[in-house]
Structure 1
């Protein structure tokens, strides 16, 4: 009697039939350790008068230029790899000071402009509260409001944040991007990059003229490392590093 043929067992391939998954351990997340410095422009006359600037193209004051020169010398110490800026005069002049001390060319993008706020633009804080009390109050409550008939904060984030993300992707590991923009645009961009709910973005306090915030890349996304800073960030030495 001839013995039945025995089919040899298949060689182990590291793949389970039930799941199709490989037996190899999962790859570790890639950590590129890139940073984004979001830098607000220097002082303008409308800042001093507490007028809502929005997308109105206002020049820096002489003090604003001094602020930009001082901050540029500090930020140059970070050895940034690229400078990205709004094309409005106040941000372009601020970015130019960093370009002068680093030799980096500035890339301007209108998507980084401040929020367009329609009828609010050019009005003082007190005038806005007087003429648009309900609109102002709703905005401060975190409701989606087209201030003065202009843009929603989420629309600002949707135009600004992708520009930052695309530029960061071009950086080498450990690279640093400086984004020169406006207070409102920076806040909404940070909120979008951190994945915060839009109604909570107001919890991010405003930036002083020529101060900045720093986002750091981690394996789980972006983290806020510094906010409204006017000095170079110190290393985090502790358990949360």
Structure 2
């Protein structure tokens, strides 16, 4: 909760226009911290939930590697794998990215949307928005608790401006701005 309160204080200074969140406990509690500071309501959507991992759910990383080595290895190589019989990463992006885009369309010009979700869902959604091939989504890496990514719209589509950030974004000055 301390991490969520710290993140909320930093993100509130960006003056967000809307907050959406997974309806699962940790993401929704994180979003509430920001809501309390900004006065913005949180719109919950189950499409922002974490990847369903079937029989892998609740197992440690080591347990998954030991019990499902072949499936785990294929997934780490970037092959489309229903981890534990659960969702494909592309299915997670299919459900989450449209929610984010729908809420972005409702923002004022240059508005800011905060999305409180889960690492795998965030990674697949970012990969989809950036137009990366699904096998490259893993290269984005994970997110630490209560850290965030910043995307912005550029001349040729979405751009990843910051990833796994825990500080306020700073403007990037360059020839392509």
The TM-score normalised by the length of structure 2 is 0.99
Deviation at 1:240, TM superposition (A): 2.9
Does the residue aligned with 1:227 lie in a helix, a strand or coil?
strand
**SS of structure 2 residue aligned to 1:238:** coil
2 CA distance for matches of 1:209 and 1:196? 24
Deviation string, structure 1 residues 197-219 (Cα, Å, up to 9, x no partner): 00111110110000000110123
SS of residue in 2 equivalent to 1:159: helix
Unaligned runs of 5+ in 2: none
The alignment's TM-score, normalised by the length of structure 1, stands at 0.73
Residue 212 of structure 1 pairs with residue 142 of structure 2: no
Paired with 1:217 and 1:239, the residues of 2 have a C-alpha distance of 16
Provide, for residues 54-101 of structure 1, a one-character-per-residue CA deviation record: whole Å limited to 9, x for no partner: xxxxxxxxxxx0000000000001000000000001111000000010
In structure 2, how many angstroms separate the alpha carbons of the residues matched to 1:235 and 1:119? 43
Q: For residue 131 of structure 1, what is the aligned residue in structure 2? A: 67
Alignment of 1:32-71 (within 5 A): 65-71=1-7
Q: Distance in 2 between matches of 1:219 and 1:169?
A: 17
Q: Secondary structure at the match of 2:163?
A: strand
2: CA distance, partners of 1:125 / 1:205: 16
Partner of 1:236: 172
More helix by share: 2
* 1:168 aligned residue: 104
CA–CA distance in structure 1, aligned partners of residues 61 and 110 of structure 2: 41
2:54 corresponds to 1:150: no
1:85 paired residue among 21, 41, 50: 21
Tell me which stretches of 4 or more aligned residues in structure 1 moved more than 6 Å. none
Report the alpha carbon displacement of residue 220 of structure 1 after superposing the two structures with TM.
1.5
Q: Give the match for residue 180 of structure 1.
A: 116
Question: Which protein has greater RCO, CA pairs closer than 8 Å, 6+ apart?
Answer: 1
Report how many aligned residue pairs link the two structures.
Answer: 177
